[in-house]
Amino acid sequence: MEIKNQATFLYGGDYNPEQWPEETWQLDIDKLKTAKINVATINVFSWAILEYAEGKYNFTMLDKIIKLLSDNDIKIILATSTAAMPAWMIKKYPDISRVNTNGIRQKHGKRHNACPNSLNYKRLSLGLVAELAKRYYNLDNMVCWHVSNEYEGYCYCDNCARKFRIWLKSKYKDITNLNQKWNSNFWSHTYYDWDEINPPMKISDLFDNGKPVLSGAALDYQRFQSDSLLNNYCVERDCIKKYDQNHAITTNLMGSKKDLDYFKWAKEMDIVSWDNYPESKEPISNTAMQHDLMRGLKQAPFLLMEQTPNQQNWYPYNALKKPGEMRMLSYQAIAHGASSVQFFQLKQAKSGAEKFHGSVLTHSNSVNTRTFKEVKNLGNELSKLSGSMQHARNIAKVAIVFDWESYWGIENSIGPLENLSYVNEIQRFYKAFYDCGISVDIISQNDNLQDYSVVVAPVLYMMKPSFISEITGFVENGGRFVTSYLSCLADENDNIYSGGYLEPLREVLGIQVDERDARSADEEINILDDCNNEIGTTDGVCDLVVADHADVWAKYSGNIFYDNTPVITKNNYGKGQAIYCGSMIDEKGMYSLVKRICSGTDVIIKQANEVEISIRSTKNENFYFIINTSDSEIKIDNPCISAEVLLSDLKVGKQINLKSFGVVILRESK
Amino acid sequence: MEIKNQATFLYGGDYNPEQWPEETWQLDIDKLKTAKINVATINVFSWAILEYAEGKYNFTMLDKIIKLLSDNDIKIILATSTAAMPAWMIKKYPDISRVNTNGIRQKHGKRHNACPNSLNYKRLSLGLVAELAKRYYNLDNMVCWHVSNEYEGYCYCDNCARKFRIWLKSKYKDITNLNQKWNSNFWSHTYYDWDEINPPMKISDLFDNGKPVLSGAALDYQRFQSDSLLNNYCVERDCIKKYDQNHAITTNLMGSKKDLDYFKWAKEMDIVSWDNYPESKEPISNTAMQHDLMRGLKQAPFLLMEQTPNQQNWYPYNALKKPGEMRMLSYQAIAHGASSVQFFQLKQAKSGAEKFHGSVLTHSNSVNTRTFKEVKNLGNELSKLSGSMQHARNIAKVAIVFDWESYWGIENSIGPLENLSYVNEIQRFYKAFYDCGISVDIISQNDNLQDYSVVVAPVLYMMKPSFISEITGFVENGGRFVTSYLSCLADENDNIYSGGYLEPLREVLGIQVDERDARSADEEINILDDCNNEIGTTDGVCDLVVADHADVWAKYSGNIFYDNTPVITKNNYGKGQAIYCGSMIDEKGMYSLVKRICSGTDVIIKQANEVEISIRSTKNENFYFIINTSDSEIKIDNPCISAEVLLSDLKVGKQINLKSFGVVILRESK
Amino acid sequence: MEIKNQATFLYGGDYNPEQWPEETWQLDIDKLKTAKINVATINVFSWAILEYAEGKYNFTMLDKIIKLLSDNDIKIILATSTAAMPAWMIKKYPDISRVNTNGIRQKHGKRHNACPNSLNYKRLSLGLVAELAKRYYNLDNMVCWHVSNEYEGYCYCDNCARKFRIWLKSKYKDITNLNQKWNSNFWSHTYYDWDEINPPMKISDLFDNGKPVLSGAALDYQRFQSDSLLNNYCVERDCIKKYDQNHAITTNLMGSKKDLDYFKWAKEMDIVSWDNYPESKEPISNTAMQHDLMRGLKQAPFLLMEQTPNQQNWYPYNALKKPGEMRMLSYQAIAHGASSVQFFQLKQAKSGAEKFHGSVLTHSNSVNTRTFKEVKNLGNELSKLSGSMQHARNIAKVAIVFDWESYWGIENSIGPLENLSYVNEIQRFYKAFYDCGISVDIISQNDNLQDYSVVVAPVLYMMKPSFISEITGFVENGGRFVTSYLSCLADENDNIYSGGYLEPLREVLGIQVDERDARSADEEINILDDCNNEIGTTDGVCDLVVADHADVWAKYSGNIFYDNTPVITKNNYGKGQAIYCGSMIDEKGMYSLVKRICSGTDVIIKQANEVEISIRSTKNENFYFIINTSDSEIKIDNPCISAEVLLSDLKVGKQINLKSFGVVILRESK
């Protein structure tokens, strides 16, 4: 189920009038409407107001807020308020609070910290959600339900331990099987009874750096906690569905955050929504990657549920977005698949943890601020864009595989590097495609490959047999497959594949890898291509690749014992080609590698500069999003001279002149 | 009540003979007397000796120590010994030990860690203090009482939680009022019963970095703990007063330490005393600032209760004080208002946490050490200085406002910078005045402004309405008022002022601030004055100032979107002027700013070099303290040629030649 | 008791077939045998397999493993498996798990974490060990027993507290004596009852940085825990000895690891064995030092129980050993006294904390890997070396004193530097001798000095009266004694010697030290010799040495107040000389100092380059180990032209040409 078709883009954000006197509400709404705000996410943290004692509800304030918005023609995204518990509840039922990795039970405070396996939590949260669903299921102006908020974190309480044992029993059936899968004979961990198993925590089987002794157990606990929280989502969703089959249901995700297997989650969500909070100096390709990942969860448009109009507050330095930067980032989101542009939040909190987080109405509460004016300008623009754009699809010939289990597995590993970041490695590959102007889909190991010309699986540590077989067919049939260091090492229990690294892909890749060096940043070495031209440098993980029947595209060079050893290889297999990249190559080298990977395919390389061009298509139209991600003026060739220019009365000719953070949208009829 | 007039300066320090065999005592005293040591602080950590079981006291050793000192004409500062509990006591009453922010009850050990709300602690400490007061109230050679030691730190136990609720109830009367003041609807924190409220701790409402969710709650807990510890002080004081109305009572404070609101504390103290432990590379202006703060607590002379004669031991590198440096620092203390020079400690501990902390008698126990000789020389000098100097007052035309609640409030805030230090920002302003040779008083928001020409309120985050009104009158009547970034943002509950930053001062300052950038040190930008001359650079917090009807004294300059935006403004208001400084400007820029602030006032700018000149005055005399804070020789103009030279037989003429760390004191008759 | 004489070197390592299907065992063994592997350490972590419920044993698998090895002529080092407890055991007896320094009881997990004072642990571990000893005491191919594994860490539980009090009572007899020795009057720590004493932990008497308030108490707890763990070792050993008086017993130590007083431990061990895991960039002299320390524990050959054939996994960057480097390190071990070369491990784990730790058979399980081939080559070489070499002794004329109590004492100290590392300071001195090509013994304070020409005691913080008297005699009789900053400061309770630093050595050294500066690395200053030539620089601890009747060999120089103050002195005393080094001098300065120290003695200085030459001798033979520790080719003079060349058919003449990591062994008949 999708959200109902909207005539124009959803434009708005989180709104918490419960923090303000009622007499100010209409005044604020009047201001927001001048900015063409048309949607408000409400009721995100109101449980303590709605349920003042167990089973005693008071919807007076929420009714008023909903009436206020309805009267003002503002649509509603209605949250369930279960992401932060009332103080009375924790006092009455301490088991609802989580126990941390040091075994300490938390007291009331903060948010996103209910034990997902607490029966009290489930009973009480469902009680509230049922009341909400019954009361508001037929709100005319509701866009969708918003379950809880930013699910995250794990619990380590005894109740979770008990549920974990049941989860394991159901998965492994008998304890001998579990022992085998977990390789429990390691360090005398053999279990004889399910009750002997505890969650891996710092006071049990995790080291101080959070890495586990039994990697299989740690992985299962990550799966179990992700599932437990997903179950919290599902029971709320099912409760709502009982009363309301008309509105879509979502919860706001957080990009590549580690805790939850979002591919599994997305299956249970009607539409994906997410919160985009890049740090000010983060490469713009990272934001693009996050959008593509969020789109990739369902290979469908998504809601941009939150972004800040001006600045965050939790970074070491919270820089202001520059003039035009918020607009640029908003269009980047749309270009990558967003159906909405929403802010956290519409009115800035006067106190508390988020008081210095930016907002549409800042602390001055004025419409004359730069922030408000930029929000208003964007609101006016979006109101003129066709609603059809919201459902247009992004098309890519290249797919990059993202996999939460590999993310967990490789970051659980002790060695070869202490601080390996899975997401950084995905971004290393993504950025090279981005810099070549190539659109990318981010997919899971379970997705279809048939529409892609190039499939890239970086650090796919726990490559599944089904994916291996899929990829083998893909290459046989002419596809280009790229994989890297630390890929295809372990099975689903994090047991290294018998026969060694890459064993199941040895034929496809035509190589072997037995040794893997690790180099710090001050030990970087050169990479030469097969004409002995330096194409870049590398450090971190350095695989010593043995090219059995693969061609050597590049080799290490320098005062090292593996000077001249292959680092990048290409193997012809069937009608296709399989490329292996054995090291953490720098930007320049990756750029050169991606150009070579794509040459001879239907993937078109555009010189990208700092201008991003994305296309979203419907049956009848193509929308070109041409975005200057820099604060300098840039001139580029018009990629589609025949197209209509949106957003502007300006005509564009053969060349397009993009101002600082400038955006041009072209519509081409098919 | 002041300490009794002393014929000469008090000169001595902490003395712990209980750590040494009795037969060594007189030998040590004989040595110390050669250095003109005339006062010893005793009984600081002897509770376990004095009370060997509950209610069983043994004063034999203390009697002997007192007799020893009395027989040797050494005055006594008598501590109450309640700063470290005996082991038997914690074993018997575990509730006396604090619970930490992770909810873990401490066991016996360390010091300064009694739960301030433990009834057992109160009963037992008062029991001891009553015995002491009864026994020693009429000691002839007692200078003053010294309650406990370096009060610090907070407790988070259930008993504190209960007392906190009572404290809150008495403050807010009904829970709805508390909810409003704390903005508790934020993140579903609404309370229905006082019992639902817990201390903000890491396992409740504080994040890992110690920052709170509800800033109002955190502030109240800081006030409550400061008050709880102050109550510990007051009940000891009152107990003593019952038996002894003749001796002053103090406790040793720690400069700008964060935990306790010393302005509130000082009201309960007869005289302020404090412990001065600058790190070896700390700018000398910081020490000056700390002295001025301690003097400012009561706007009166204070005791320098502790300093090290040679080196500390708890810094990463514990450098030795250079020859003359200890003397220089001692006179700096006197110049800023000290009535005593005291050391920690007179004889170096042979083991334990302080064994490598410096001492007058070092581990060699020799009088031939450099340390002892320097102490002795200073003792001889001080013995010749007139006692009247001790009560002379410092006079300043400039006041800087220091405010513990703003300190807590801004450092509780999440954003705009993670690691903002309130004290560093006060020092940024103080140093600029110091470098201009300008004497400064440090005052609270409640002090009178009438005697000042310039009042500076940097980062006065929680500016009180009473101060705002006071300052408005001050400027109207011709005063110059300076304030800065992050000032006048929030009310006493840390709720941002309705209408935005600086709202209550908008007319006085003639500006608005809505946006605030945050820049790391490697992103510094230039500041140009109104003639486009670069006056300095800046980073950290950068306010984008809108000058409504204020003059622009300086603006940002560089490749930034707010190039040319005002950063320093000056507004004429009434007969006075209000200056706003919107960014964390570097030393050079601050120096230039302060010169401009003071020009046209009666504040005289002296070229300071590294020579500090301070004046203390009595009805009849002015004392000039001319201090070379550097280890190079410096020549300066004599500021008062007619004056008598103290400390030295040297005549000084138009010029004064100051050796490395050299000090000249001049006495001018009025 | 030594291990039984072996015809050839023991060559093998840890072997954990219990982690693999039985059908793979023989296949693996076949491969290992091609590399001349002749010993396997087994049963290190099999407790959970052996004892599946309390008192229920199952030796089926171990029997099979032993049979497998025996059938294949592979010797066995049989571990007792008590280093990691079964999960059922912790569930049944939670007291077996340790309590950490924050007072939190650990759950099942990890390893090396039994409470050493748990009676349940003792009963259960002895139960298992008795079964093992009864069953396997007369194994023909057993080399020795291997008790537990890498003993380490401390426990802070209530049971340890109770046992600690008994230990203290037995040591101090009455509590007044303890109070005096601990200087407990410090900070009111006076104890009246043994029950008032707790282990020093972070929630009692340790600061957050782990440093104690009462240093005497902390030292005693370190002694007590070291003794408690040693007792665990001893009771297992005694249990084995009841059944088996024929095999030696060892446990694997860890070089200069801090936790345990290995000199005390070694007395209880038949032979020392240890695990050598240098970080890839660690100076090779550090490894040499560690070997010499391990040899020094008994002044006898030792087993190299573990090293990695290629890479570790727990460092930030786990570099591969270069070709030849593992061989070089193996011969370095032998050159310094090893009787075996053993790896962790023979077959790489497929999952768990050590899956990326290197192994003889890597994940590929192939004999064609570089690692396997290097292991095989070395196996072939070792198999040809005479068994007599294993028992040959190393001869040195220089001894460096290592002392665990000084290690604990100085690192417990607060000041003069926060991050002083005892081991780094030992290595500073060791390296200077190493760079001069001088062989060194590492000895304890209790060892005989008569065979040495030079005895060096760096940072011997707690120099014992017996050693002082020994060293005084040593110098009187013509020896050269060298000591340093932070030596001879405190007695066995960490009370500073009455009279000050170095007091008991003042006559021997001819100096006094009263002041000690501390300088950060960016404040380094120069050292000039007595001809005013710069010999090096220094920072860190800088003693201001007063040369009473000693000659000044070097002095500080620079813009410091102690410019020209002595830093190195030499005193003639009796027939000998006593040298004092007062500062942490850099490599260049230390090299020059050591040359001067040795000049005029029978210690021969060889220009070392990066070639290490060691000699092991039997009654009839000298073995020269000439090791190029670098990866460059180096030519050196043949130190013994008449000798036979081992390992190679090559003749060597006056010069020896050493390839990258090249090793030449010469045998000289006496």
Q: Residue C655, Cβ neighbours under 10 Å: how many?
A: 11
Whole-Å CA distances, C16 to A492, A641, C19, C80? 23, 69, 6, 14
Catalogue the active-site residues of A: 150, 306
CB spacing of A631 vs B561 below 8 angstroms: yes
Distance from CA of B369 to the nearest CA of C (A): 7
Q: Give the residue from A83, A350, A113, A26 showing the smallest Cα distance to B184.
A: A350
Give the chain A residue nearest B185 (alpha carbons).
A19
Asked whether the beta carbons of residue A349 and residue B200 sit closer than 8 angstroms, the reply is no
- Cα-flanking dihedrals φ and ψ of residue C232, to 5°? -55, -45
CA dist C70 → B280, C49, C75 (Å) = 68, 21, 7
Q: How confident is the model at residue C610 (pLDDT cuts 50, 70, 90)?
A: very high
Q: In which residue are the tokens 């940072």 written?
A: C459
CB count, 10 Å around CB of B264? 17
Compare CB distances from C185 to B49, B91, B106 and report the shortest one's residue.
Answer: B49
Quote the tokens at residue A661.
């953070």
Contact A319 B517 (CB under 8 A): yes
Q: Which of A598, A599, A554 is nearest to A580 (CA)?
A: A554
B-interface mutation test, from C157, C185, C198, C408, most B Cβ less than 10 A away: C185
pLDDT at residue A608, rounded to an integer: 67
| Ligand-binding site membership of B327 (annotated) | no
As a whole-number percent, the residues of chain B with pLDDT over 90 amount to 95
| Full set of structural domains in chain C with CATH | 10-156+220-391 (3.20.20.80), 398-598 (3.40.50.880), 611-669 (2.60.40.1180)
- Name the burial class of residue A599, with classes exposed (0-12), middle (13-18) and buried (19+) by CB atoms within 10 angstroms of its CB: exposed
Answer whether B214 sits within 8 Å of A314, measured CB to CB: no
> What pLDDT shows up at residue B530?
96
User: Which residues, 6+ apart, have CB-to-CB distance to A187 below 8 Å?
Assistant: A213, C45, C84, C110, C111, C352, C353
Which residue, among A100, A101, A203, would best test binding to C if mutated, counting the most C CBs under 10 Å from its CB? A203
Q: Are C323 and C370 in contact (CB under 8 A)?
A: yes
Task: Give CA–CA dist A308/C581, Å, rounded.
Answer: 61
Q: Is A188 in contact with C631 (Cβ distance < 8 A)?
A: no
Q: How, if at all, do strands B566-573 and B511-519 pair?
A: unpaired
Determine which of C49, C88, C364 to mutate to test the interface with A (most A C-beta atoms within 10 Å). Answer: C364
Residue C102, Cβ neighbours under 10 Å: how many? 15
Q: What is the mean pLDDT of residues B375-400?
A: 93
Chain A hits for B490, Cβ within 8 Å:
351
Contact yes or no for B91 and C517 at CB 8 A: no
| Residue of chain B whose Cα is closest to the Cα of A24 | B498
The pLDDT assigned to C388 comes to 83
Beta strands in A10-156 (DSSP E): 10-14, 39-42, 51-53, 56-57, 75-79, 142-146
In whole angstroms, give the CA distance from residue C44 to residue C78: 8
Question: Do B366 and C514 make contact, defined as CB atoms within 8 angstroms?
Answer: yes
Rg for chain C (alpha carbons), in Å? Answer: 26
Sheet of strand B663-669, all strands in order from the earlier edge strand to the far edge: B393-394, B611-617, B621-628, B663-669, B644-646
CB atoms within 10 A of CB A521: 9
Q: Which positions of B are annotated as active-site residues?
A: 150, 306
Tell me the mean pLDDT in the region C77-99.
98
Considering only the beta carbons, identify the residue of B189, B195, B413 that sits closest to A48: B189
Interface mutation vs chain C, best among B351, B368, B369, B631, most C CBs within 10 Å: B351
Per residue, the 3-state secondary structure of C398-429, as one string, reads: EEEECCHHHHHHHHHCCCCECCCCHHHHHHHH
Selection from B233, B277, B276 nearest residue B79 by Cα: B233
Structure tokens at A525: 């070495």
State the pLDDT at residue B620. Answer: 92
Q: Which runs of E-coded beta strand occur in A64-181?
A: 75-79, 142-146
Once rounded to an integer, what is the mean pLDDT over residues B119-136? 98
Minimal C-alpha gap between B145 and chain C (Å): 19
Query: Are C109 and A415 a contacting pair at CB < 8 A?
Result: no
Confidence of residue C650 (pLDDT cuts 50, 70, 90): confident
Vertex B203: Cα angle to B202 and B208 (nearest 5) = 35
Please state which of the ranges A11-20, A335-344, B633-642, C326-335 shows the lowest mean pLDDT. Answer: B633-642
Residues making up chain C, counted from first to last: 670
Q: Does the beta-carbon distance from C311 to A416 stay under 8 Å?
A: yes
Q: pLDDT tens digit string along A353-409?
A: 999 999 999 999 999 999 999 999 999 999 998 778 888 999 999 999 999 999 999
Chain A residues near residue B190 by CB distance under 8 angstroms:
48-49, 52, 86-87
Rounded to 5°, the CA angle C208-C211-C217 comes to 125
SS3 helix, strand, coil % of chain B, rounded to 5? 35, 25, 45
Chain B residues with CB under 8 Å of A16 CB are 185-186
Q: pTM of this prediction?
A: 0.97
pLDDT at C8: 80
Is B351–C183 a contact, with Cβ atoms under 8 angstroms apart?
yes
Q: Rounded CA gap, A227 and A262, in Å?
A: 10
Give the residue from A214, A216, A194 showing the smallest Cα distance to A205.
Answer: A214
d(C-alpha C168, C-alpha C399), whole Å = 33
Q: What is the pLDDT of residues C378-404, one digit of tens each?
A: 999 999 987 788 889 999 999 999 999
**Helix boundaries (H) for C244-324:** 262-266, 284-298
Among the partner residues A189, A204, A561, nearest to C48 by beta-carbon distance: A189
Residue with tokens 């209880």: C268
List the binding residues of A: 111, 115, 149, 155, 157, 160, 314
H or E stretch including C218? helix C215-243
B388 contacts B621 by C-beta, under 8 angstroms: yes
Virtual torsion, Cα A628, A629, A634, A638, nearest 10 deg = -30
SS (H, E, C) A254-296: CCCCCCCCHHHHHCCCCCCEEECCCCCCCCHHHHHHHHHHHHH
- Record: contact C351-A215, CB cut-off 8 A: yes
Q: What mean pLDDT comes out for the span B612-623?
A: 95
Contact C190 B87 (CB under 8 A): yes
Within 8 A of A312 by CB-CB distance, chain B residues are 415
Low-confidence ranges of chain A (pLDDT < 50): none
Q: What sign does the CA torsion over A632, A636, A641, A643 have? A: negative
Rounded to two decimals, the ipTM of the complex is 0.96
Range C199-208 average pLDDT: 98
Q: What stretch of H or E contains C333?
A: helix C325-335
Q: Which two tokens stand for residue C181?
A: 């020795």
Residues of C586-616 as b/e, b for ≥16 C-beta within 10 angstroms?
Answer: beebbbbbbebbbeebebebeebbebbbbbb
Q: Which helix (H) or strand (E) holds B578?
A: strand B576-581
* pLDDT-derived band at B7, boundaries 50, 70, 90: confident
Tens-place pLDDT, residues B474-507: 999 999 999 999 999 999 999 999 999 999 999 9
- pLDDT for res B607: 73
Q: Among B196, B200, B201, whose Cβ lies nearest the Cβ of A87?
A: B196
Contacts of B236 (CB under 8 A, 6+ apart): B80, B82, B125, B126, B129, B147, B148
**Cβ contacts of C315 on chain A, cutoff 8 Å:** 418
Nearest-by-Cβ selection for C499 from B52, B310, B365: B365
Q: Indicate the pLDDT class of residue B5, thresholds 50, 70 and 90.
A: low
pLDDT at B391 over 90: no
Strands B621-628 and B634-637: unpaired
Confidence band, pLDDT 50/70/90 cuts, at residue B59? very high
Quick one: pLDDT at residue A59?
98
Annotated binding site of C for Zn(2+): 115, 155, 157, 160
Beta strand A511-519 pairing with C634-637: unpaired
pLDDT, averaged across chain C: 96
- Indicate if the pLDDT at residue C511 is higher than 90: yes
Cis before A458? omega within 30: no
Q: Half-sphere exposure of B185 toward its Cβ, with a 13 Å CA cutoff?
A: 19
**C contacts of A182 (beta carbons < 8 Å):** 351
Q: Hey, what are A440's tokens?
A: 């990318």
For residue A105, list chain B residues with Cβ-Cβ distance below 8 A.
203
Among B109, B357, B370, beta carbon nearest to C205: B109
Separation between Cα atoms, residue A95 and residue A119, nearest integer Å: 9
Coil, helix or strand at residue A408? helix
3-class DSSP string for C106-154: CCCCCCCCECCCCHHHHHHHHHHHHHHHHHHCCCCCEEEEECCCCCCCC
pLDDT tens string C349-368: 999 999 999 999 999 999 99
Q: Is B581 annotated in some ligand binding site?
A: no
Q: Residue B582 and residue B584: Cα distance in Å, rounded?
A: 7
Identify all chain A residues contacting C354, using CB atoms and an 8 Å cutoff: 186, 414
The subunits that touch chain B, with at least 3 C-beta pairs less than 8 Å apart, are A, C
The separation between CA B56 and the C-alpha centre of its own chain, rounded to angstroms, equals: 37
Q: Are strands B303-306 and B273-275 parallel, antiparallel or unpaired?
A: parallel
Whats the size of chain A, residue-wise?
A: 670
